[in-house]
A and B are shown apart, each in its own frame.
Chain A
Amino acid sequence: MNERAGLRLFRVAPVLLLVVLAVAWQLPEQRWLRLSSSDPEVARQMTSTLDALPDEPLVLVGFDPDLGTYAEVRPTVRALLADLLARDGRLAFVSLTAEGRALASAEIARLGRGAANPTRLLDLGFIAGAEAGLVDLTRGVQLPGDEADGSFARQVDADGIDAFDAVAVIGGNDLGPRSWVEQVAPRIGEIPLVAVTPTVLLPEVQPYLAGGQLAAVLGTPRDGAAYREGLDLGNLERLVDPTPPRSLPLLIGVLIAVAVLGQTLGSRLLEFLRAARAPAAG
């Protein structure tokens, strides 16, 4: 392949990739593919933590994913919110990053469109100051003016963060479970912290999970898929993604990446071998 043809192929590669992925998306799910983890322990840990909560738990949802990685965790986040609502939970959303606030606003609106019970949702809005905002949250919860009504709001207004039975952190690159463990956990009682994070945060989150500061974490697409498979949401199934992630497009993406990286590394290896042989031949 000459250089011009290679350049042309590189230019049309994104369009070709989109077409291939779109076709793969339409194909039926293949039995030889499986997205969920074969080890369900991580998902079981999340489920057992939620099972241990009292009836009709009050859950503070720290919603701070970032736009870049939200696509990775979105199906699991929506499943967790639906799971909590299916347990008759009441959810109060708070964000400490601008991106998190934008996504929280979109998800709360989505729950509203899905006819989630509005008395079980409370939007605490955005708190500036990142980690200082977290500290402030432990000192008292400020209700936005339009959220001041209802028994849930009154309870949160009266008891602050102590009103909650659990904290669910939806983490992102800017603010994640680490900040909650460091800034909030030492200032509140024995409230379990659970988290959903993109894989990139897992190395910094795992020590907190091993140390017990985090009760459960869903940190990879495989663990998220295993958790979603084990859910029985009844009529709240409407609140989760109607089309869960498909394995075949993922497989195609992985194979393309492997092919490109492998071809590049192979070329480098051949170059190296030729260079090593040249002095010997000379």
Chain B
Amino acid sequence: MSRPTLAALILVVGMLLLADLLVVNSALDALAGIVVNAVILVAAGAALAAVGALGVRRIGDLWRRRGDPVGAVLVLVGMGAVLVAGLRPGSAGTNDPAVQWLVAALLVPIAATLFGLLFVTTLGAARRSLATRSREATVLVSAALVTTILLIPLSGSTGAWLAGAAGWSLAVPIGAVFRGLLIGIALLAAVYATRALLGMGAADE
């Protein structure tokens, strides 16, 4: 799709949804509904395409004997198990007990275990980042050390002080940095959107 067409499409859809939010009009409401449903269909299609692409990629890995064969087999078996459980004749879809068992007994604990390993890998990454002797890494790890100390779950006045300091660090310095990042991202998105709407691009585009 050419840039002016894309910009015009974004402009029309954006103005339509904005007008629907501000003006009570049944025709406008119906039109906005069609657009929203179209967006949902596109998103659902994209999600299905992504899953399909993952499956095709893993089958390709096995066929051409590249990558990690064990990982590819596990991915395909997992996808197949959920598909069979959810789509077999008589299945209740996502509410089927077999699907719920696969999710509750396998998927959730396995994913939680993987994320639990982050405790070890994050500490390893902190050590390696300091080995580079960069100032940024030193500041990052120092801040992480202080924040971690504030999480010590003590009772009494010391615990109350630590909890108060942890709350302050979340609300003030961490909050300020995080919100600064969000504001920066929002400004960049606004600038990019404006450039897209106006059909402006970099010289090399």
- Residues of chain A touching chain B, judged by Cβ–Cβ distance below 8 Å, are 10, 13-14, 17, 31-35, 37-39, 67-71, 98, 101-103, 105-106, 109-110, 123, 125-130, 132-133, 135-136, 139, 146, 186-187, 199, 202-204, 206-207, 220, 222, 247, 250-251, 253-258, 260-262, 264-265, 267-268, 271
Contacts and interface: CB of A to CB of B under 8 A. Distances in A.
Nearest to A35: B153
Interface stretch (B53-61, B64-72, B173-181): B173-181
A21 to B, nearest CB: 10
A256 to B, nearest CB: 8
Contact of B149 (A136, A204, A220, A258): A258
Given A67-B111, A262-B145, A264-B141, A129 B43 contact: yes
Contact of A261 (B145, B159, B175): B145
Contact of B115 (A71, A136, A222, A264): A71
- Category for how many chain B residues contact A: 35 or more
B40 A136 contact: yes
B166 interface: yes
Contacts of A69: 115
Interface string B22-66: 000000010001001101111110010000000000000000000
Given A38-B159, A105-B95, A261 B148 contact: yes
Contacts of B92: 146
B75 interface: no
A13 B4 CA distance: 57
Contacts of A17: 119-120
B126 A260 contact: yes
A153 B138 CA distance: 56
A68 B17 CA distance: 34
User: Which of B43, B144, B166, B171 has the most CB atoms of chain A within a 10 A radius of its CB?
Assistant: B43
Given A32-B155, A34-B155, A206-B175, A265 B100 contact: no
A265 B47 CA distance: 44
B205 to A, nearest CB: 28
A156 to B, nearest CB: 17
B107 interface: yes
A102 B43 contact: no
B21 A126 contact: no
Interface string B95-125: 1010110011001100110011111100110
A37 B162 CA distance: 10
A131 to B, nearest CB: 9
A132 B39 contact: yes
B127 interface: yes
A261 B108 contact: no
